[in-house]
């Protein structure tokens, strides 16, 4: 079973930094991520989703390849590429993997302009080690599907002081 975690950060840069750290933890097999999306809200109130995979582009690319192959059979490869790309792009645009886009946009309406929400669909996690790595990254938990004790542990880890704090600078004389 997967769990959804949504954390709000003061900037898109900070949300991206945390997302990249989660990807590093995934390489260490401490977490398995099903999806990780950053939602931002601009000054006009428009919500933008920064997704890992652009399904429209992926659909267009695969459609072009299939269109080329089918077009070659009928001796019209260029027409096949165009028709394949168009149909693949349409199929990709209508496909939604991971977290539901409509849900993310609706939840992101509550964001302040300039802030960002990191949506993470967690499939598996070694909780204590991941929380230790996320300790002190800041952010406010907006929504989770975690039980109360795990959600509270996440809130405390995000708000705590980092374990790897930089050493204070020596006073200059």
The structure's pTM equals 0.68
Residue 136 pLDDT? 87
pLDDT value at 96 more than 70? no
Q: Residue 6 burial (CB < 10 Å; 0-12/13-18/19+)?
A: buried
pLDDT digits (tens, 9 = 90+) for 17-33: 999 999 999 999 999 99
Contact 20, 50 (CB under 8 A): no
Residue 128 pLDDT? 84
In the block, residue with structure tokens 């999806």: 35
Strands 116-125 and 3-9: antiparallel
Average pLDDT of the segment spanning 45-50: 88
Domain 3-52+99-159 CATH class label: alpha beta
pLDDT digits (tens, 9 = 90+) for 135-159: 888 888 888 878 888 888 888 888 8
Nearest to 111 by CA among 35, 36, 17, 10: 10
Domains of the chain, by residue range, sit at 3-52+99-159, 55-94
pLDDT digits (tens, 9 = 90+) for 51-88: 875 444 455 555 555 555 566 666 666 665 565 555 55
With a CB cutoff of 8 Å and minimum separation 6, the contacts of 132 are 157, 163
Residue 42 pLDDT? 85
Give me the count of residues in the chain. 173
Average pLDDT of the segment spanning 98-105: 85
Residue 7 pLDDT? 92
Residue 40 pLDDT? 93
Nearest to 8 by CA among 123, 140, 127, 150: 140
């Amino acid at each position: 079973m997967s769990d959804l975690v949504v954390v709000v950060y003061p900037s898109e840069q900070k949300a991206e930094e945390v997302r990249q750290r989660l990807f590093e933890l995934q390489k260490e097999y401490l977490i398995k991520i099903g999806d990780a999306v950053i939602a931002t809200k601009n000054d006009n109130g428009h919500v933008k989703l920064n997704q890992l995979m652009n399904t429209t582009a992926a659909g267009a690319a695969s459609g072009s390849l299939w269109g080329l192959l089918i077009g070659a059979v009928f001796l019209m490869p260029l027409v096949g590429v165009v028709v394949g790309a168009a149909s693949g792009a349409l199929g990709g645009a209508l496909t939604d993997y991971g977290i539901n886009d409509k849900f993310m946009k609706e939840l992101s309406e509550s964001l302040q302009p300039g802030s960002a929400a990191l949506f993470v669909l967690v499939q598996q996690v070694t909780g204590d080690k991941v929380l230790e790595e996320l300790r002190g990254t800041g952010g406010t938990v907006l929504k989770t599907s975690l039980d109360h004790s795990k959600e509270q542990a996440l809130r405390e880890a995000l708000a705590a002081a980092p374990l790897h704090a930089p050493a204070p600078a020596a006073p200059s004389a």
